[in-house]
Copies of this chain bind each other. A is one copy, B any other.
């Protein structure tokens, strides 16, 4: 369903998808500014002008990546907001978030490493808002600063863990679970106080 193998009006019109794939890969690796449209076009063996057939601007390519890949996160947040703020719910949120992150790993790597750019791409704020929302579902109201930090730390460690642990030994899934455990611990502590 993701790669466009299924239906609508393709014929082999997978170019748009391929642009997104290559763009994500290159930008995650080199950063937004360092990645030029020429590079993307060359890698795809099309001309730069072809990119402009599919996307209005360079920024548009990146925005489209988010529009596509943020949907699960948005769904998660929407769901979270409707649950009662029990510890059980919070654990479930973390679990689901961990899985969502693993799915969209390159995108998060990109975001993590290009925060400065994010701010000017009109995406940063969107994302920050989402994080605030997500944090809101984890942290109890009227809690002291330390516990708020604990929850934020949980979220942040999940982000960072994705690629910082890349050059650590061990199976990725195992690492994901370890991170999830630590995050859950932190949120649990904050909840209990």
Per the bound structure, the CA–CA distance linking A183 and B34 in Å amounts to 35
Check if A146 sits within 8 Å of B33, measured CB to CB. Answer: no
A141 contacts partner chain B, Cβ-Cβ < 8 Å: no
Check if A145 sits within 8 Å of B175, measured CB to CB. Answer: yes
Q: A149-B179, A149-B182, A152-B165 are in contact. List 13 more A-B contacts (CB 8 A).
A: A30-B116, A30-B120, A31-B114, A31-B116, A33-B33, A112-B115, A113-B115, A145-B174, A148-B168, A148-B178, A149-B165, A149-B181, A152-B157
**Chain A: residues with CB nearer than 8 A to chain B?**
29-34, 112-117, 120, 145-146, 148-150, 152-153, 156-157, 160-161, 164-165, 168, 170, 174-175, 178-179, 181-182, 185-186, 189
